[in-house]
Amino acid sequence: MSTEEKVANHYTHGSLETAILQSLAADGKDIDNLRIRDLAGVDEFHLGRHAATVDFARDLDLSAGLRLADIGSGLGGPARHFADSYGCIVSGIDLTEEFVQVANSLTARCGLADQVSFRQGSALALPFESGSFDRTTLIHVGMNIEDKARLFAEIRRILTPGGRFGLYEIMQMRDGTLPFPMPWAMELETSFVRSPDEYRLLLEGAGFAVELEQDRSALAIRLAHEARAKAAGGQRDQGFRTLMGPRAGERSSNVNTSVEAGLLAPIEMIARAV
């Protein structure tokens, strides 16, 4: 089995849409006419959640009509935000067929199918024409991709000259052994966390100039503390548990502990295609 097949299997739930819709209905949502905010607890699982997406979108300098490719689009939360808040035309791609199906379904239920679409495919062989996008995004995806040089070359290929590539990735900040399982991998075999220095070097080699870099650990730590306080009061993050399964708590704890210890950090970079 290839690494990509193992990664897709890792994320496949089997009945994810049913679980999400049942959870939403139990909360009193109209599942046939959803709003973006109805999905806040189920469609963005990167560190910092929706708050990080909002800041990230602002830093990308988005505007109506821009063509944006979201690589590793998951359940589509960020893509829908880019379209709904800025008027972008978004194409998402993800390895996991179930994620693609659920993302398209949720998008249709939100009335955004004319602006946002998702398809299954590999980030290492993007099914898009060269120079066909003004922006590209990568949110907590690179941890599952070993060949980042090829990844960045593909992203540069589909961008227009001067287009911007925004990435928001978990990176390793110092030497140390990662505790597994993590949200993106149950063991080291499919985990490819790298340092900001390596990301910068590979981006430059692919034809990008990094214009912005910032560590979003403070936001991630604050939200993790808030989530723990809610859990102590009996409010569990059901969305995360639905997606991640019975070891969700352990996986979440491992990544949050690693960020608080300074071993890992969620890093945002904005790079321009030169």
In angstroms, the CA 259 to CA 263 distance is: 6
Domain range for 239:
3-273
pTM of the model: 0.94
- pLDDT tens digit string along 20-44? 999 899 889 999 889 999 998 889 8
- pLDDT tens digit string along 75-93? 999 999 999 999 999 999 9
Average pLDDT over residues 48-76: 97
Q: How many domains does the chain have?
A: 1
CA angle 9, 11, 14 (to 5 degrees): 80
Give me the CATH number covering residue 120.
3.40.50.150
Residue reference for tokens 């227009």: 160
The most distant pair of C-alpha atoms in the chain lies apart, rounded to whole Å, by: 51
Q: How confident is the model at residue 232 (pLDDT cuts 50, 70, 90)?
A: confident
Return the number of other C-beta atoms located less than 10 Å from residue 130's C-beta.
12
Exposed/middle/buried for 92, CB within 10 Å: 0-12, 13-18, 19+?
buried
